Structure 1
Amino acid sequence: MQLGKRLRQLRNAQGLTLRELADRVSVGFTYLCKIETNKLEHGHSPSNRLLESLAQELDASAEELILLADRVPPSLADKVHAHPEAFIALAQLDDQQLNRVLQLAGAAEFDDAKSLGGVCR
């Protein structure tokens, strides 16, 4: 799923207009519209701070929005830096193996993976 599509879903679920949400996070509504329609110019992606503000206003996961913006959330980056061997091993698993690992880790209800890029189906 793309960031813009997810933001629109979240905004509509909260019953907010683009202008209302833009006012709440202190950005121009045209900028927010460009994010939602994936029409931002190259190099003008939203900052982590804005994504965190949007997540807070939309009662959503900041980590999800940051991942959908093709970034690594700081909390995950810290874990990757602390345990690179674990993440290298995870990256080599196929979807079925990864699902088993998630189940063992207590993340059996990982349906949100689809919204995080469809890693685990």
Structure 2
Amino acid sequence: MIIVYLSIALIIGSLGYLGYTAFKIFKKSKPSLKVLNELSTRMQVKADTIKTETDKLTQNQQQLITDISQKKRAINTTVTAAKQTPVMFKQLVKAKPVTKLEHKRKARMWNMARQNRLT
């Protein structure tokens, strides 16, 4: 029976020592846990700041892409108009003979009308 009592006392003593050691370890690790929590908070704030900056950069990038495409379209329109200038000039030059032909046709019509009146 003494062995049973000694075993129970030994178990109770070891549980007490376990509790004492766990409390001591908890007390020693409390400042470290506090530092880790502060570090975690700072890291979270920095991550949020980086995310905000990334969003701003993405928005600026989209604005730049839009602005560049608008300016590209404007330049392409100007270049196309400049390329069309010789074609339009040629059309204007060709319009003069058509105008002369129109005058000749009107003159013929007038002469025919005059001859019809005279006869």
- Fold conserved between structures, TM > 0.5: no
Q: TM-score normalised to the size of structure 1?
A: 0.18
Greater Cα radius of gyration, structure 1 or 2? 2
- Of structures 1 and 2, the one scoring higher in RCO (CA 8 A, sep 6+) is 1
